[in-house]
Amino acid sequence: MRSNGGRSGQTSVDFLVGVSIFAVTLLFVLQLATGSAVNLSPDTQTEGALADRTGDVLLSDWSDAEPGVFGNTTAEDYLDRSYTDVADDLNIPKEGGNYLYRYNVTVVELEELSEEPPEPVEPGSVELTAGNSTTDATGTVAGRNRVAYMNTTGGGDMVGVRVKVW
């Protein structure tokens, strides 16, 4: 029973319990919110996804020919442009005028289609190339291979399109 003249500690205990419950709830909500937030900025892309998308753009979006078919002169004209022009066409992300990734596109002649992974590029077998040299690549380098048909004056050749992004 309470006495009229005495001081009670009940209010202080209620306040401490309330603040403690609020603090625990706030910490739980903040932990949950920061763990479930998704960053949608372009620099969160992985090199593999970017290399995959770049290969798709290269073989399907830039030419008037059907997807997967290069016209020899068209491909040469396309890849024989400035680094920035090709990078813009391939949708390489940039921030403030600087590209976030470096790329290399190499077109090599294939002997035949097989289930085996393509052989390393041998000197003299490179048909076309664009972008940075892969010899100075640092960090993670992601690569994707595509097979295309290149129309030439004497018929056509199967070519391998290798896209590397780092």
Instruction: Give per-residue pLDDT as tens, 24-72.
Output: 999 999 888 776 666 555 544 577 777 777 777 777 766 666 666 666 5
Q: Which domain holds residue 76?
A: 42-165
Domain presence at residue 65: yes
Does 103 map to a domain? yes
| Cα distance between residue 62 and residue 65, in whole Å | 9
Q: Is residue 85 part of a domain?
A: yes
Residue 95: inside a domain: yes
Paired tokens of 68? 């997967």
Residue 15 within a domain: no
Q: Each residue of 64-96: pLDDT tens digit?
A: 666 666 665 566 666 777 777 778 877 777 777
H-helix segments, 90-135: none
User: Does 25 fall in a domain?
Assistant: no
pLDDT at 124: 46
pLDDT tens-place string over residues 121-153: 554 445 556 666 666 666 667 777 777 766 665
Number of independent structural domains in the chain: 1
In a 13 Å sphere around the CA of 81, the CA atoms on its Cβ side amount to: 13
pTM over 0.75: no
DSSP state of 95: E
Q: Which neighbouring-strand residues pair with 103? A: 165
pLDDT of the residue at 20? 96
142 part of a folded domain: yes
Report if residue 147 sits inside a domain: yes
